[in-house]
Amino acid sequence: EAGVTQFPSHSVIEKGQTVTLRCDPISGHDNLYWYRRVMGKEIKFLLHFVKESKQDESGMPNNRFLAERTGGTYSTLKVQPAELEDSGVYFCASSQVPGGYTFGSGTRLTVV
Amino acid sequence: EDQVTQSPEALRLQEGESSSLNCSYTVSGLRGLFWYRQDPGKGPEFLFTLYSAGEEKEKERLKATLTKKESFLHITAPKPEDSATYLCAGISGGYQKVTFGIGTKLQVIP
């Protein structure tokens, strides 16, 4: 079984630019989650999709972040425009039932 | 606000030297507690889920226990390959949200 795949693994962008992160969940997993770890802090919840619908987006920092999940398959997280404080590791996780997560390896985003 | 606190933040052990990692939590409506292992450059890897006080689970040299206020991850006779960051997380809200601790970075020296 293929795991959760995230692209790219690393991204370095300038402040003000746009970046799009992608997550391919495990096939058949209806639940998809985005988390973020800022250096020195805990991993924090961003949002939860059930199929293509946003179940909970209470962790999204602000309206510069936009998450989508096309047809209930892969998901994208766009940051526009990026700010320095957006730097961190963005993790995606998926599960067949809520809570039984499998995480991807993460995308390390650096905003300079 | 839900909070998960892990201690110590870093732990250095000699190979074979058993120890315990602590996780205390204040999570409203807690439904369960996860333990994960994270290696550098990788995502968290699931180890255990504990649902009720008194529950214990084991996997190789690891044993996780849960009380009403905290969880422990016991490592018996660790090996260098057990070196990793161990994360504790509380599940609430119908399993839809997970609150993570900052982790304990374990180093096992041969």
pLDDT 10s digits, B35-52: 999 999 999 999 999 999
Output the pLDDT for position B91: 86
Please check whether residue A1 touches B, CB under 8 A: no
Output the pLDDT for position A70: 84
Output the pLDDT for position B27: 83
| Euclidean distance between CA atoms A94 and A67, whole angstroms | 15
Task: Test B96 with A104 for CB contact under 8 angstroms.
Answer: no
Instruction: Lay out the sheet containing B19-26: strands in order across.
Output: B3-7, B19-26, B70-75, B62-66, B56-59
| Whether A45 contacts B97, CB under 8 Å | yes
User: Residue A73: is its pLDDT beyond 70?
Assistant: yes
Task: Test A93 with B87 for CB contact under 8 angstroms.
Answer: no
Please check whether residue A106 touches B, CB under 8 A: yes
Q: Which residue has the higher pLDDT, B67 or A72?
A: B67
Rounded to a whole number, what is the distance in Å from the CA of A58 to chain B's nearest CA?
10
Contacts of A97 (CB under 8 A, 6+ apart): A31, B95
Element counts in chain A: helices (H) and strands (E):
0, 11
Mean pLDDT for chain A overall = 93
Q: Which of B24, B33, B95, B105 to mutate to test the interface with A (most CBs of A within 10 A)?
A: B95
Nearest-CA neighbor of B74 among B20, B6, B36?
B20
Phi, psi of A72 (to 5 degrees): 70, 15
Output the pLDDT for position A98: 64
Task: Test A55 with B46 for CB contact under 8 angstroms.
Answer: no
Please check whether residue A99 touches B, CB under 8 A: yes
Please check whether residue A103 touches B, CB under 8 A: yes
User: Residue A68: is its pLDDT beyond 90?
Assistant: yes
Q: Which of B46, B49, B88 to mutate to test the interface with A (most CBs of A within 10 A)?
A: B46
pLDDT class of B94 with cuts at 50, 70, 90: low
| Whether B12 contacts B109, CB under 8 Å | yes
Output the pLDDT for position A72: 82
